[in-house]
Chain A
Amino acid sequence: MEWMQILALIAGGMMLFAIWPMYKNWRANPVEAQPGDWSTAVFLLGLVLLFVLLLIWSVQ
């Protein structure tokens, strides 16, 4: 295994370690979505996805 792969592995492990408190906090205090919350979020993230596709198309 190359040293770059070892460093990437360490970085990945640390990222998991960093996200764990966020996951634990969500499990302890889950926030319920209000009606319409998810549809708004999906719409906004869909716009982001379309914009990214547009950027990819623009550089091809």
Chain B
Amino acid sequence: MEQRSTHRASVASLSTLETNKVLKNTYMLLAATLGFSALMAGLAMALKVPTGAYLICVIASMVLGMFVLPRTANSGAGLGVIFLVTGLLGFGLGPIVSMYLTFSNGAQLVSTALGGTAVIFLGLAGYAMTSKRDFSFMGGFVAIGMMVMIVGMIANIFLQMPLMAVVISGGIILLMSALILMQIGSIVNGGETNYIMATYSLYLSIFNIFISLLQLLGMFGSDD
């Protein structure tokens, strides 16, 4: 009896060790990919890459993220692919940041969006880690919400309604926040064991929050 409970305790501690390892690897890879992304954004800004490159980079990174990353995520090649994906997204972000920096208060807008994104991510990740709550019940809400937002985004390509753009940006920030809670909750509860896929999901949430926040701040706070 005592032997069995000792065995259970050692299995539980092994599982906790495994979870902590996934979490640690995810945070380390996330930090590295964010740093690499910032470097690529800086390179794109220095090269004065046109704004149209953003969409090309987003499409290329989505192709890699959808078709190549899931097939390589369990091998060392996955690390190269995740750096390629995040590097492309960072390179695409460069001209967007450059565009905002041409505004008279552009530096304030960009730094506020960066700081705001960091506070949102750290706050939500900290809560999900300490509470150990499983947020996977929000999967349907996030999936349907994202579909509605993307359909709205496609419609707004033609409608060009500023109010719709505000609602979509706000909605994306909330949905990506929910995704951060789900992803960290999933790692903490042992649902996600692949740190490369976990990093990809968290990186995309951070990227989308930053872009949407920058757009909102640009719309409401720009002097130009």
* A contact residues vs B (CB 8 Å cutoff): 3-5, 7-19, 22-23, 25-27, 30-34, 37-38, 40-41, 44-45, 47-49, 51-52, 55-56, 58-60
The closest CB in chain A to the CB of B113 belongs to: A55
Q: Mark B128-157, 1 if CB is under 8 A from A, else 0.
A: 000101111111101110110011011001
Q: Given contacts A5-B158, A9-B157, A48-B174, could you give 8 more A-B pairs where the C-beta distance is less than 8 Å?
A: A14-B66, A27-B140, A31-B137, A41-B135, A48-B120, A49-B170, A52-B170, A52-B213
Measured between beta carbons, the chain A residues less than 8 angstroms from B142 are 22
User: Interface size class for chain B?
Assistant: 35 or more
Segment at the interface with A among B19-27, B75-83, B104-112 = B104-112
In the assembled complex, the Cα of A16 lies from the Cα of B108 at a distance in Å of 33
Instruction: Count contacts between A and B, CB distance < 8 Å.
Output: 117
CB distance from B168 to the nearest CB of A (A): 11
Contact between chains at B147 and A23 (CB < 8 Å): yes
Pairs A-B, 10 closest by C-beta atoms: A59-B221, A33-B137, A7-B55, A23-B143, A12-B154, A26-B139, A26-B140, A31-B136, A31-B137, A22-B143
Indicate which residue in A8, A41, A58 contacts B138 across the interface (CB closer than 8 Å): A41
Indicate which residue in A3, A19, A45, A59 contacts B150 across the interface (CB closer than 8 Å): A19
| Known interface pairs A56-B216, A56-B217, A60-B221; A11-B62 also in contact (CB < 8 Å) | yes
| Known interface pairs A14-B59, A37-B133, A37-B137; A45-B143 also in contact (CB < 8 Å) | no
Contact between chains at A59 and B109 (CB < 8 Å): yes
In the assembled complex, the Cα of A56 lies from the Cα of B56 at a distance in Å of 29
The closest CB in chain B to the CB of A13 belongs to: B154
Contact between chains at B174 and A55 (CB < 8 Å): no
Contact between chains at A32 and B177 (CB < 8 Å): no
List B residues 101-125 near A (Cβ within 8 Å): 105, 108-109, 112-113, 116, 119-120, 123-124
Measured between beta carbons, the chain A residues less than 8 angstroms from B217 are 55-56, 59
CB distance from B37 to the nearest CB of A (A): 18
CB distance from A47 to the nearest CB of B (A): 8
14 CB < 8 A contacts A-B:
A7-B59, A8-B153, A8-B154, A9-B154, A11-B55, A15-B150, A17-B66, A23-B143, A26-B140, A40-B131, A41-B178, A52-B170, A56-B217, A60-B220
